[in-house]
Amino acid sequence: MSELESSFFNVDRQGPVVRLSMNRPEKANGMTPDFWTELPRLLQILDSDETVRAVVLTGEGKHFTGGMDLAAFASIAALFSEEPGRAAYALREKILQLQGTFSAIEKVRFPVIAAIHGACIGGGIDMISACDIRLATRDAYFSIEEINIGMTADVGTLQRLPKLISPAIAAELAYTGRRFSAEEAQAFGLISGLADDREGLIAAAMEMARDISTKSPLAIAGVKRNLLYSRDHAVDDGLDYMATWNAGMLRPEDLTKAVQASMAKKQAVFANLLGEGSLAI
């Protein structure tokens, strides 16, 4: 499974759970060009592996991530020697690509749990806003840093954060670029739980991922897709979509397994979703 070797991430597979760890600790896991292509590449591989059921996203070293590496701006700057209308067109394409890196987190069928320690700055907030669940160490801290370097954050923070926490608070954080703490983040509803240190954090995140991986992967995929659908639609629309979804996906097999296992005080064992082979056109 060497395709999981990566120039930016450590990939640690533990049964149905995979930990992707940003591995450029000497640069605070700054998001180099490699980062932007490697994350969606790895996620797509994991999504097509029917045995994967949850992913944990962490960082090596002292910090989760310091955000966009300035090197990644270089290719953008190069555009501006071109005819300005064409440069703008190309820049739009480039930003869409960068956004695609984080939207890839929403496209996989399993939850991605961010486990954040130390700094989570700039692009880091764009990234964790696209994750399904977030845990942090007590000493983690956050900042929508883009406004402090003279730009409008454009890879997802302004779109996703105000749909996770109070938009009133999200606005204040986006205008001031001020640092906020893990405890604040938990009070805002952004963070689901706090750990004392990085070791405890990773243990908690892996434990949560293992717990999720024991549940029906079909039901989990349904939760993920329908939560995302509901976020972006009116309630009546969401209900109709949900009914249409379960019209095909709700069948007795998993319910029966769950009930029987519960009666026998055992853990139910649910079958994987179908693998990529079944899905090829």
Angle at 117 between CA 112 and CA 123, to 5 degrees: 65
Is there binding between residue 2 and a copy of itself (CB under 8 A)? no
Is there binding between residue 3 and a copy of itself (CB under 8 A)? no
Q: Between residues 100 and 200, which has the closer beta carbon with respect to a copy of itself? A: 100
- Interface residue with a copy of itself, options 19, 53, 117, 160 (CB under 8 A): 160
Sketch the per residue contact string, 29 through 68, with a copy of itself: x for CB under 8 A, - otherwise: ----x--xx-------------------------------
Q: Between residues 1 and 263, which has the closer beta carbon with respect to a copy of itself? A: 263
Q: Order the strands of the 133-137 sheet from edge to edge.
A: 9-14, 17-22, 54-59, 112-116, 133-137, 193-195
Is there binding between residue 200 and a copy of itself (CB under 8 A)? no
Do 72 and 126 contact (CB within 8 A), yes or no?
no
- Interface residue with a copy of itself, options 41, 147, 179, 200 (CB under 8 A): 147
- Interface residue with a copy of itself, options 71, 92, 199, 203 (CB under 8 A): 92
Do 47 and 23 contact (CB within 8 A), yes or no?
no
Is there binding between residue 134 and a copy of itself (CB under 8 A)? yes
Interacting residues with a copy of itself between 238 and 277 (CB under 8 A): 238-255, 257-259, 262, 268, 270-271, 273-274
The stretch near a copy of itself (CB under 8 A) out of 7-15, 22-30, 59-67, 182-190 is 182-190
Minimum CB separation of residue 199 from a copy of itself in Å reads 21
Contacts of 167 (CB under 8 A, 6+ apart): none
- Interface residue with a copy of itself, options 26, 70, 199, 203 (CB under 8 A): 70
Q: Between residues 45 and 91, which has the closer beta carbon with respect to a copy of itself? A: 91
Is there binding between residue 91 and a copy of itself (CB under 8 A)? yes
Q: Between residues 26 and 82, which has the closer beta carbon with respect to a copy of itself? A: 82
Is there binding between residue 159 and a copy of itself (CB under 8 A)? yes
Minimum CB separation of residue 52 from a copy of itself in Å reads 15
Is there binding between residue 146 and a copy of itself (CB under 8 A)? yes
